[in-house]
Chains A and B, each alone.
Chain A
Amino acid sequence: MLNNAFLHFLTRMLYHQKNKHIGAILISILVIFLLSAVLFLSTSLQTRVQKTLKGQSDFTISRIQAGNSISIPYHWVDKVGALNGIESVVPRVHGRYFFTPKGKSFLIVGVDFFDEQNNKLLKSIVGTLDLKVFLKQDSMLVGSGVSTFLKQHYFKNTFTFKTPNGTFKEVHIAKVLSSKSNLFTNDMIVMPMHLAQEIFGMMENEITDITFNVPNDAEWDTVIEKIYLMFYDVRVVDKREIQKAYESLYNYKGGLFLVLFLVVIFTFILILYQRYSMVYSTERKEIGILRAIGWSINDILKLKFYENIMIVFVSFFWGVVLAYGYVFFLDAPFLSSIFLGEANLKNHVHFLPVIPFGLLGSIFLFYAVPFLAAVLIPAWKIAVTPPKEAML
């Protein structure tokens, strides 16, 4: 139990010796800040992936021949829909449209705007959309990266696509997709399916992929098997694979940083240990004096423990708070480009605030335990030497 006198002495010690601790506190804050920022980033990205995939269809069928994607006949939609256990079968047209003058590309997704599944998804990323107005003329929804890029190149309300047969197609920009979904929709253009078919030079009875849901999880593998039996040249991707791919990508990047920072923590702790055990003679003298005036070894260790646990808490608190601000308010400049990679169009991702309490707890332990050990072990070594010797 801490009494008032001990607390008074402890706070006096910390206040008067603040210059002694400031270096350790600043380095600790920096290391905790970097570690927490990486953790916040990777957890936020993973959560965003999970949330986005939640609204997506369970499966996507595409057709592959000789390693290349080819179009799917429209009547396959009915064939897939006829299988037992399958719901919400939706045809889609998608592909990359290259804006050759600038070497950039857009991901065009052509969907049926009257389909219930598509409508739900669109609502989540674009809000309310008046379909009557939207479909009155050739319109599209663009990702915020596309919107910025087009504005920079003087396409304010419309953009003209060049079709493979040499004609031009002017499409009205109806709305910009929410920047919250930038991780996926930054370079995306969503438009009616017939428009996408026209831009890609496809026939009306051709699509690029079919999406569908299987409500019963236990049936997933059976359904995949049935589709492979029905169509010999298709590839079926389920959303678990996509989720795993993203998670492992962010885990891998985050893990790399973690290893790097753990090495930094280890080095810092080593330096701290050396500082306390060898160089710091005033520390030795102080311990010797306290022992000489009647403090026991336990009393000394108690003082050093509380002194340093306060340093640990202060550093940890500020490191985490600064990292939170850096990632969730400033959107992690520098670090975000490392995590998201080189983007086709400049991407400004707003990170979803998520606090991984478990991981933060682990960082605290990884940092606090070696920190305290680095201080307490040398302090204990000094405390057990005869006070007269320590005071020299």
Chain B
Amino acid sequence: MNVITIENMHKIYHENSTEEFEVLKNINLVVKKNEMVIVSGVSGSGKSTLLSLVAALEKPSSGKIIVLEELVSKLPDIHASKYRAKHIGIIFQNFNLLESLSVETNVMAPLIHSGLTFSQIEEKVQYSMKLASIEHKATQEIRLLSGGEKQRCAIARALVHNPELILCDEPTANLDKENTLKFISLLETLQELGKTIVIATHDPLFDTLTCVSRVIKMENGRIL
């Protein structure tokens, strides 16, 4: 089963202006269920943009993006939010956590409008924090955490609503080697749980991992 299907997709910034810039050119890509795909390339090659388009954080200029049989390239805003809330877990390079809130509240955030009861939400939050090994810092404010702990909190938040697809944007860029290895081991666990994972990184360590299904190289907005 295809989790992601991208056909002839282009992304142009500042379209129809003098600053027009084509960041992704004719992208075609298929990612199957339970695959762990690495999108590698230097900074500015278009990896992060590709992930944001799959997450429907922005829209492509042309082409199709189909995720879990849903045409996300044309999703209106309200549906895009629902789509992210249901299917997508995102781990950002700089974690993008709500700094003034606690780990627990951050992890809880994606479930606030899920319709679940408070006790069901709390149960999921506990499970997710345990999976990401951050439950001991549950009440700690984000701004007081180390880089590795923030990373684990971001992972717990990305997993809390049990998404099928996990997108990681330069997940190890702010981590030391020890935390990077811990993260990789967590990715392996997630894959065992049947998740599909796409990781945009320029860290060569990922290219050699046995759990990685494929490595896609990108350069100047094209898949090589």
Contact = CB atoms under 8 A, between A and B. Distances in A.
A9 interface: yes
A296 B121 contact: no
Interface in A348-392: 384, 386-389, 391
A290 B85 CA distance: 10
B52 interface: yes
Contact of B112 (A6, A17, A288): A6
Interface class of chain A by DSSP = helix
Given A4-B118, A291-B81, 4 more contacts: A5-B117, A6-B113, A290-B109, A387-B58
A39 to B, nearest CB: 37
B219 to A, nearest CB: 22
Interface stretch (B38-46, B64-72, B92-100, B209-217): B92-100
Contacts of A391: 92, 96
B50 to A, nearest CB: 12
Contacts of B92: 292, 391
Interface string B96-117: 1111111001001111110011
Interface string B60-94: 00000000000000000110011011101010100
A343 interface: no
Given A5-B108, A292-B90, A297 B98 contact: no
Given A4-B118, A9-B108, A299-B113, A294 B85 contact: yes
Contacts of B47: none
Interface in B182-199: none
B81 A295 contact: yes
Interface residues of B, number: 36
A297 B77 contact: yes
The 5 closest A-B CB pairs, nearest first, are A294-B85, A4-B118, A296-B81, A294-B84, A16-B100
A5 B116 contact: yes
Interface string A331-354: 000000000000000000000000
B169 to A, nearest CB: 10
B118 A8 contact: yes
Nearest to A293: B110
Contacts of B101: 12-13, 16
Contact of B90 (A13, A286, A293, A384): A293
23 contacts: A3-B118, A4-B117, A4-B118, A5-B121, A12-B102, A12-B105, A13-B101, A286-B98, A290-B109, A291-B57, A292-B55, A292-B90, A292-B96, A293-B85, A293-B109, A294-B84, A294-B86, A296-B82, A297-B78, A299-B81, A386-B57, A391-B92, A391-B96
Contacts, number: 92
A24 interface: no
B58 A388 contact: yes
Interface of B: 52, 55, 57-59, 77-78, 81-82, 84-86, 88, 90, 92, 96-102, 105, 108-113, 116-118, 121, 141, 157, 161
Which of A299, A387, A389 has the most C-beta atoms of chain B within 10 angstroms of its own C-beta? A387
A9 B111 CA distance: 10
Which of B82, B88, B112 has the most C-beta atoms of chain A within 10 angstroms of its own C-beta? B112
Interface string A85-119: 00000000000000000000000000000000000
B118 A5 contact: yes
Contacts of B86: 294
A234 interface: no
Contacts of A297: 77-78, 81
Nearest to B161: A294
Interface string A286-313: 1011111111111100000000000000
B14 to A, nearest CB: 12
A293 B84 contact: yes
Nearest to A16: B100
A23 B105 CA distance: 25
A392 to B, nearest CB: 10
A349 to B, nearest CB: 48
Contacts of B111: 5
Contacts of B97: 289
B77 A293 contact: no
A218 B88 CA distance: 80
A291 B112 CA distance: 12
Contacts of B105: 8-9, 12-13, 16
Nearest to B115: A3
Nearest to B119: A4
A291 B116 CA distance: 19
A9 B81 contact: no
A379 B77 CA distance: 16
Interface string A1-38: 00111101100110011000000000000000000000
Nearest to A294: B85
Interface string A54-75: 0000000000000000000000
Which of A285, A286, A289, A298 has the most C-beta atoms of chain B within 10 angstroms of its own C-beta? A289
